[in-house]
Amino acid sequence: MKQVDYVNRRLRPLRSMPEFYTLRHLLSKVTEIVSVLERSQWTPPIRVLDAGAGCGPYRQLFSNGNFRYVAVDCQTLPGVSVVADAQRLPFADGVFDLVLSNQVLEHVCDPNTVSAELKRIVSDRGYLLLSCPFVWEIHCFPADYWRFSSQALQLLFADMDLVYMEPSTNTAQCLAQTFNLFINRNLENELVKALLFRFTNSRLVVAGIAPEDELLPANYVMVAKRKVPVETTIQISAVRQPSDTRARTQPGLPLSDPGRFRMRVDTPSFEIPVKGPRVKVSGWIAGDSPMDQVWARVDGSEQWTMECNLPRVDVWRAFPEFGNAHRSGFQGECSMGLLSPGEHTLEILATAKGEALAWDPIKFRVTGRRSQVAGHKSHAKIFCDP
């Protein structure tokens, strides 16, 4: 395949291509990480290594002057900056803010060594974006050794902090794409193939299987970061804290600048009624470091520990400038009995690196009537002020 055709297939995937679904998903993920890096407010240059780049089809996505793009491959090809073996990359530790490895890992004879090299060169603030097939035809460039499940990739990169792992297709799309690859190998007429691919890649054909069915994905895309050690992470939900723990969140710890953090409570909300004696609390706190502890306090009195540092890819996509955005979630329950009708307050308190964090209370209202008969369930509903 000519270089220009290869680049065009990666940057402009069409339904007339056999591997349309995988190429479309991969392009969306590379485009997304470019956007994340551009919004991360990092001091340039942002150093990017494309490991196993071939002719570097995604190079032009990093044409912004803030990026420094380096393409490395085991072969001398147009656009390759460095010719090197992926098992011995000629770079110092932690020198790249983004390491790309797209459809490479299945071609190396020692994936453990290669994965260790990829992890080694990621900077403390940086990301690794890796894609590899799970269901695919044999394709020797120059050899084809492996297929990886999501569990296999998590095992290889267990010492990294996973941002997300996404399948590139659902089962229906994978079956359609596998059929396309068979047709592509066994039919010579390019026009007929293109028409067949347009049909098999149509929404009508793949609509028969639920979109969320991911039992048989064709490919995976993974984004991960270096792990940041957390000295104290509470993993106990809905445990009442004694008064001395509450006191440690008050003056006595340095109060952090609230502008360095961003907090949102997802529940309780106006739209979601709360039934029974427990108030479910969830949300996120984005900042430059993981949370040590998070508490929820109702009406300024009883205080409850939240599970924290939970995955929130949605927050990472919206606010990549915060270092812990991908693990900013918290959730738990406040067992308050049956709250009386009227106005109440919910406060979120936290500590991060020994700094106390507090935000203005959120007001919510309880409507309904508490049951006066033992054994009857309350139908009280909790609403938050917008």
- Average of per-residue pLDDT values in the chain: 84
Mind listing the pLDDT tens digit for each residue in 242-278?
Answer: 332 332 333 333 444 445 899 999 988 766 666 666 7
- Please report the pLDDT score of residue 250 as a whole number: 38
- Please report the pLDDT score of residue 377 as a whole number: 34
Q: Which residues share a beta bridge with 283?
A: 265, 330
- Please report the pLDDT score of residue 239 as a whole number: 31
Q: How many CA atoms lie within 13 A of 371 on its CB side?
A: 11
Q: Are 253 and 310 in contact (CB under 8 A)?
A: no
Q: How many CA atoms lie within 13 A of 83 on its CB side?
A: 5
Lowest average pLDDT, out of 69-78, 88-97, 159-168, 358-367, goes to 358-367
Is residue 221's pLDDT more than 60?
A: yes
- Does this chain's domain 3-226 share its CATH topology with 239-384? no
Mean pLDDT of 188-195: 95
* 3-226: in CATH 3.40.50.150: yes
- Please report the pLDDT score of residue 148 as a whole number: 97
Going from N- to C-terminal start, the domains of the chain cover 3-226, 239-384
Instruction: Give the separation between CA 210 and CA 66, rounded to whole angstroms.
Output: 41
pLDDT > 90 fraction of the chain, expressed in percent and rounded: 63
- Please report the pLDDT score of residue 233 as a whole number: 40
Instruction: Give the separation between CA 319 and CA 315, rounded to whole angstroms.
Output: 6
Instruction: Give the separation between CA 15 and CA 288, rounded to whole angstroms.
Output: 41
- Please report the pLDDT score of residue 256 as a whole number: 43
CATH class for the region spanning 239-384: mainly beta
